[in-house]
Amino acid sequence: MKKRQNPRIILASSSPRRKGLMTLLGIPFEVCPPGASETVEISMEPALLAERLALRKAKEVALKARDALVIGADTVVVVDGLVLGKPKDANEAKQMLRMLSGRAHQVITGIAVCDTRSVPLRWRLGHEVTEVIFDELNESVIDAYVRTGEGNDKAGGYAIQGRGCILVSKLNGCYFNVVGLPMFRLSKMLSHFGVEVLGSR
């Protein structure tokens, strides 16, 4: 039997980390970074916020793409109900790491998949939550890590896939979610739109 051809897939992201994770699926995809603003109502519930940002990115690219599935994603870090975005500078990065030191926080990634093959546009939303527990960080460790610049463009000011891995003592949930793209949840969402990942399931 002839294998069904997957639809055109577009990743609406400028993140090299998300692009790298997408390659793990082993299916062709394109990258089209959105220019959507990440500014939203900060009082919004964190999971809804992550989904709303992901949908905004996906819809912006979807409006310019034909006959495709467009994937948008956005990750937020939450501690004590406070949403931490990307640090504006080194001082803010240090402040974030002090807040996370010796404590548990949640990493939430929202995912949106928009189907431009239909009119009107259809989409599906989802999110993944992972609990991350940090080691107790002293000021010299915080200063040294911030100087690496690794967390400059990361929510919460750290990158678990880089040298930030030594800041994390424990993780409960999906590791890939903390990197920026929960692969299991994404594969299930894509299969809803007819994408075969590792054959039909």
Q: Which domains are delineated in the chain?
A: 8-192 (3.90.950.10)
Separation in Å, CA 60 to CA 34, 35, 67, 112, 114:
6, 8, 15, 12, 10
Nearest to 22 by CA among 187, 189, 162: 187
| Per-residue pLDDT band at 92 (split at 50, 70, 90) | very high
Q: 97-139, pLDDT tens digit by residue?
A: 999 999 999 999 999 999 999 888 899 999 999 999 999 999 9
pLDDT at position 147: 97
Cβ atoms of residues 165 and 171 within 8 Å = no
pLDDT at position 110: 97
Q: 35-77, pLDDT tens digit by residue?
A: 866 665 567 899 999 999 999 999 999 999 989 999 999 999 9
What is the distance between the alpha carbons of residues 156 and 187, in angstroms, rounded to a whole number?
Answer: 26
Q: What angle do CA 165, 157, 131 make, to 5 degrees?
A: 60
pLDDT at position 3: 53
End-to-end Cα separation, the chain, in angstroms: 16
pLDDT at position 43: 72
Would you name the residues annotated as active-site residues?
74
Q: Which two tokens stand for residue 175?
A: 């590791």
pLDDT at position 201: 44
pLDDT at position 121: 87
Q: Is 83 exposed, middle or buried (CB count within 10 Å of its CB: 0-12, 13-18, 19+)?
A: buried
Cβ atoms of residues 130 and 183 within 8 Å = no
Q: 173-201, pLDDT tens digit by residue?
A: 999 999 999 999 999 999 999 898 875 44
Q: Is 36 left (phi over 0), alpha (psi -120 to 50) or beta?
A: beta
pLDDT at position 44: 83
pLDDT at position 200: 46
